[in-house]
Structure formats: C-alpha cells, structure tokens
Chain A
Amino acid sequence: MIQLSDEVLNKYIDGELEGSVLREIQKQLKNSELDRRRLAILQTVHRELANLKLYQVSDDFTSSIMLKVRKNLKVVRKDRYFILSVFSIFVIISLIIISYLIDWTATQDSGINSVAQNINNYVDYIVNTISPIKDFLTAKNMSIIGFIFSFGIIVGGYLFLESIKQSKRNLSKLH
C-alpha cells in the first residue's frame, strides 16, 4: 500500500479533495494506521495554528494614529495653499505684463475705443494688434520681461524650496 503524501493529507485537512479522490483517501486512511497517525498529528498542528496568538497594540495606538492623520492633513493643506499662492504670483505677474502690453498697444492705436463699441472691429483689432506686439518685442523690452520673469522664478523657487524643507520638518515631527 502506498503511503499518502503530506500534500494529500494537507489537502484533506483543508477540504480540497472531492468525489472519487476523497473516497480513495478515506479508504486508505481506514486501512493504514501509520497514515491515520500522521493525519492526526497534522490535524493537531492545524488546530494549534488556528489558535494563533493575536498580538495587541498599545492602548493609545488609535488616538496617536488619528493625531498624526490630523497633523498630516494640516501639512497637506498648507502645501496646497503654498502652491496656490506661488501660482497666483505668476498669474498676477503675467496679468501685469499683458495689461502693460495692451496699454502700450492702445497708445499706438487710438482706435481701441471703437473696438469696444463694435464687435466686428474687434477681430480686426486683434489682427492689427499682432504687428504692434512685434514692434513691442524689442531687445530692450524683452530684457525687461525676461528680468521680471527671472525674478519671479527665483523668488518662486526659493519659496518652493523653503516649503519643501518645512514639509520635511513637519513630517519628521509626525514620526
């Protein structure tokens, strides 16, 4: 008689065997004292494993997690506000440049007031605006725009690095 393998006995314990295979195993177990002993020991191990010790965390675990969660949310919110403020600075700088550009083109073309009165003329105005913009983008004006943008980028970059440092400090405090 062939001895049942450990794998088969394990599958028998887990109820993975069905039909004729199960009947065959049951027959084999009935006839073999050795297999019955092996199965009994495996079943004991299985029962003991089912009573596995459940470790308990400290009593204040949940409250400390929730405290960290709340702190974490504050940090995330602060970061969002910072990104929003840097973005706003860029938008404001861009708007200032665009307004300056429009104002400059308006002084070049006195017909701007009639644009507001007549929508059809507005399209013509846009087309006409392109050529004054070309005039506006002289080397001198370009360097002014470049200076403003560079200044904005440097200030924004500095603030961004400071914010990252602050976030890291906040996160290290959390841990």
Chain B
Amino acid sequence: MNNLTDFEIIESVKKGNHSDYALLVDRYKNKAYSLLTRMLKNEMEAEEVLQDCFLKAFNSLASFRQEAKFSTWFYRIVYNTGLTKLSGKKRKIESEMSSIDDHLEIKSEHDFRIAEQKDFSKFIQSQIEKLPVNYASVINMFYLDNMTCEEISEVMETSVSNVKVMLYRSRNVLKDLLLKFKYSEELL
C-alpha cells in the first residue's frame, strides 16, 4: 500500500476508502510538522495547526484537481494556515518588520555558549531555528522536502526570483555568522 502514488491514494479516498487517507497523513505529517514548527516556533501549536490542515485537506479533496502535485497543494494549505495562525498572534507583523539579520543576531548567553563550543554544525542548526517565517519556510521546503524553487513559489504565492533571494540570503547570513565566529579556520 505504501508504494501507491499520491494520486492513487486520493482516487481511492474519493471512491470511499477513507481509511486510505492515513497513508497520505503518514507520508507528509513529519515534513509538514517541521515546516509549521519552524514557522510558529512552537511544537505544540504546530501539531494543533497540522491537525486542522489535514482535516481541511480531507474536506477539500473533492475539489483537488490532479493537474498540480498533491504535495504542492497540501503545503499551500499548511503554509497559509500557519500564516493565519501567526497573523492571529501578531507575530507575522513583527517578523516582517525586522530583518533576517536581526533574527540571526547572536544575543543570548546560550547563543554565545554554542558559538564558543566551535561546533559549527550545532551552531548552524541553532541559527536555522531562529530564521524569520518566510526564510524558514523556504529553507524547510528546499532542503527537507526537496522542492524546487518553482514549487516553493507556488506554495508561497510569490515569484521564483523572490524565493531564490530568500534562499541565498539565508545561506549568506549563516555564512557571515560562521565567519564572524571564526569557524572558517576549522572549515578550511
């Protein structure tokens, strides 16, 4: 059953085999959860929102046109629901007002401790979690979901060039942080 394509599973669900929807849930739950966790910066909220997303997707499955990929369609639901949750909490406005550099500025004692440990892997992973919503979403979809910039632009309803700018900007800021904390000597 796990070898079925997304389209085959959707067809089966549409024919009335509702339990097959669990296959789609299992296939996308962790990746979508990672995206929401990075957007909302809260694992419990992310799980609640993800439940809503899967229910929304199930209820709208009849209207799903098979011209698009299910993953793109589903991630659009996840991304928009995440944004709605954020706008309700006014966090989105805060994120948009501040720059990516502000988000990745080393401020807390914890950050300094990680930086001083000279473990660049741990350091980068800790900084990724602090990325602003749209940058974190692009990074998550590009690296974790192996989506192309075109697919990400469809999900986020923005231009491909905008997605590339956010992707490059994230890498560059992380690169600058590595240079700032003199990791470059160890890396080269």
Contacts and interface: CB of A to CB of B under 8 A. Distances in A.
Interface of A: 6-7, 10, 37-38, 40-42, 44-46, 48-58, 61-62, 64-66, 68-70, 72-73, 174-175
Interface stretch (B3-11, B92-100, B136-144): B136-144
B34 interface: yes
Interface residue SS majority, chain B = helix
Nearest to B29: A57
A69 B55 contact: yes
7 contacts: A44-B187, A48-B174, A49-B128, A49-B171, A50-B143, A65-B51, A73-B18
A64 B51 contact: yes
B167 interface: yes
Chain B residues touching A, range: 35 or more
Nearest to A40: B188
Contact of B30 (A50, A57, A70, A72): A57
A43 to B, nearest CB: 9
B31 A54 contact: yes
Given A45-B174, A55-B46, A72-B55, 6 more contacts: A10-B164, A40-B188, A49-B142, A61-B51, A65-B55, A69-B21
Contacts of A38: 175
B134 interface: no
B59 interface: yes
A interface SS class? helix
B167 A56 contact: no
B63 interface: no
A66 B19 contact: yes
Contacts of B74: none
B47 interface: yes
B18 A58 contact: no
Interface in B7-63: 18-19, 21-22, 25-26, 29-31, 33-34, 37, 43, 46-47, 50-52, 54-55, 58-59
Contacts of A54: 30-31, 34, 144
Contacts of A57: 29-30, 33, 47, 50
Contacts of B26: 62
A60 B3 CA distance: 22
Contacts of A7: 168
Given A48-B121, A69-B21, A41 B178 contact: yes
Contact of B59 (A42, A53, A56, A72): A72
Contacts of B43: 55
A72 B178 CA distance: 50
B159 interface: no
